[in-house]
Structure 1
Amino acid sequence: MNIGQLRHRIEIQRLEKDPDNFDKEGFPIENYITIKKAWADVNDLYGKEYWNSKQTISENITVFHTRYYKNVDSDCFILFKGQRYEIIEPPDNVKYLNKELKIKAKLQVINNGN
């Protein structure tokens, strides 16, 4: 991994229930909690990988390369440039060296109630 390519700031988040706050129906309110701020190399899919993904899904797929963090899994989300991405596959621990993660994620539509 070339550290100089990690030029984009991302936040790795997890959706957690707040046991102290409840909505009108009595359910716990869920909030996105940032568990790690990291630098990443961000690319959209292209070439053969892009066309293979187009056969099954038509969403925007983005690949994030970042340093290895052990608690990142497919239950996490990535916040990048004000947009949230849902991790669609378990993150790839490249060559099992615990140095680099390759994360495939799709753009999630954020509805602000408008």
Structure 2
Amino acid sequence: MVEVIGKLRHQVALLKPTISKDELGQEMENLEVQKTIWANIEPLSGKEYFSAKQINSEVNVKITIRYIEPLLPHWVVQFGHRVFNIESIINFEERNKYLQLLCSEKVGVNSD
């Protein structure tokens, strides 16, 4: 892998889903910031699909970060107002230097 330190130019937050209870005792899922780090974000593909009179778009991206622990696939990555679901985590060359996060983002949900 080509050295990517200079390409880590996007500041992102790693968010961990947590469960809390509101005043009525109902469970609510919240996203709690675990770390703010620098990353490289590369679009991989985009696809549109039609479902029940809705047009849905999904964008797939590869996010490269320095190696950190712990990071789990149910966490999400926030970049500005965008939120990416982590689909898989790859420890590039198993060298504990960089992680490649393959992520998806649902965007542009429209209905009639």
Return the offset for 1:108: 3.8
User: Matches of 1:84 and 1:41 in 2, distance apart?
Assistant: 15
1:72-101 Cα distance to aligned partner (Å, 9 max, x none)? 121110001211110112x00001111100
The TM-score, its normalising length taken from structure 2, stands at 0.76
Higher helix proportion, which one? 1
SS in 2 for 1:71: coil
Aligned pair count reads 98
8 Å CA contact 1:64–1:102 kept in 2: the answer is: yes
Task: Report % sequence identity.
Answer: 25
The TM-score, its normalising length taken from structure 1, stands at 0.75
Residue of 82, 104, 107 corresponding to 1:106: 104
For 1:1-114, what aligned pairs fall within 5 Å after superposition?
Answer: 1-18=3-20, 21-22=21-22, 24=24, 26-45=25-44, 50=45, 59-89=58-88, 91-108=89-106
Higher strand proportion, which one? 2
Structure 1: unaligned runs, 5 residues or longer: none
Structure 2: unaligned runs, 5 residues or longer: 48-56
